[in-house]
Amino acid sequence: MNNVTEQLLRLVADFKGSFKGAFNIREDGQCAGRQSSEHIKITSKEDGKPGLDIRIDPGTKGETVYIPACVTHSDVNDLVYNDFFVGADADVVIVAGCGVHADNEGEARHNGIHRFFLEPGAHVLYQEKHIGTGTGSLKRIDPITDIYLKENAVLEMDTVQLRGVDVSERSTTGKLEKGAKLIVRERILTDGKEWAKTVFDVSLDGEDCSADVVSRSVAKGESYQEFVSSIRGNNRCTGHSACDAILADHGRVNAQPALDATHLDAQLIHEAAIGKIAGEQLLKLETLGLTAEEAEERIIAGFLK
C-alpha cells in the first residue's frame, strides 16, 4: 500500500493504520489488503468482472465492513463491481469511501458500481465519502448504487463529497418491497469549476414501504450542480424528497425532482429551495466578530453537518 493510499484512507474511511474486522482495500485497481471475518466473507468475483462479493451472514450484528477504493495517480481509470449480500436480520455498517489523487495532466477516475441485496429484516448503514486530492488536472468519480430491499429491510445511505472532485455523476436506484425503508442523506459541496450531478430513482413497490431522500448542496466558485430525482409510488407507501441548495459566488444549481403516484394510497411529497445565505444570518455572525468569509464558512458548515 503506497503513501497516497494511506493518506486517502484516513480521509475517506477513518483509517488509523489498520481496520478491525472485515475489509478490502482497493488501490489503483488492485487488491492492497483483504480480510474476512467469521460472519462476513469477502471474495473476488468469479464471473471475470473486477470486484468483490461481500456476503454477510443472517443475524450478524454490530460489525463494520470497510471497502475503500483509491486511485493514486493520473491515467488510472478504475472500474469495480461490488455486490453486497446482506442476510436476514443482519445489522451492519458498510464504509465504502473513495479517494482519487491526480498528479499530472491525465484523468484519475473511479467508477464504483455497488449493488445491495438486503434480505428481510436486514439493516445497513452505508457510508460513502468521496474525495479528490493532488494538483493533477482531472479527478473524476462516478458512483452507481443499486439497492434492493426485501420485506422490512432498511438501508440508510450517508454520502458526502466536499470539494476536490472535478467531475462526478452519481446514480442511486432503489426498489422497495413490503415495509422496506430507504433513507438517503447526501451532502455535496462544489467549488472552482467542479461539476456534480446526482440522480435518484426510487420505486416504492411494496405495501407500506417508504423513502426519504434529502440532498443538501452548496455550489461555490463557478461550480455547477444538478439534482434529479424520481419517486414512484406503486402501492400504499410514503415518499419524500428534498433538495436544499446554497449558492455562493457564481455557483449554479439545477433541481429536477419528479413524483409519480400510480396508486391511490401513495403519499408523495417534494420540496426544493435554492438561494444564497440570507444577509441577516451573515450580519449576525459578523456582529459577533467574524469576518464575512468566516461567517459564510460557519453557516455552510452547519448546513452540511
DSSP symbols for 91-133: EEEEE--EEEE--SSSEEEEEEEEEEEEPTT-EEEEEEEEEEE
- The residue to which cell 468483490 is assigned: 52
18 CB-contact burial (10 Å; exposed 0-12 / middle 13-18 / buried 19+): exposed
Q: Does 163 bind a second copy (CB under 8 A)?
A: no
Contact 284, 256 (CB under 8 A): no
**Count of residues near a second copy by CB under 8 A:** 31
**Only segment of 35-43, 178-186, 209-217, 256-264 that touches a second copy (CB under 8 A):** 256-264
Amino acid at 57: D
Instruction: Give 183 or 261: the residue with its C-beta nearer to a second copy.
Output: 261
Q: CA distances (Å), 236 to each of 154, 166, 184, in order?
A: 17, 41, 20
Q: In the beta sheet, which residues pair with residue 64?
A: 93
Q: How near is the Cβ of 128 to a second copy at its closest, in Å? A: 26
Q: Which of residues 263-302 bind a second copy (CB under 8 A)?
A: 264-276
Candidates 20, 61, 104, 249; binder of a second copy (CB under 8 A) is 249
280 within 8 A of 252, measured Cβ to Cβ: no
Of 77, 104, 262, 291, which lies in the binding site for a second copy, with binding defined by CB under 8 A? 262
Site string for a second copy, 12-31 (x = CB under 8 A): --------------------
Q: How far is the CB of 270 from a second copy (least distance, A)?
A: 4
Q: Which of 138, 162, 214, 258 binds a second copy (CB under 8 A)?
A: 258
List residues near a second copy by CB under 8 A: 233, 245, 247-262, 264-276
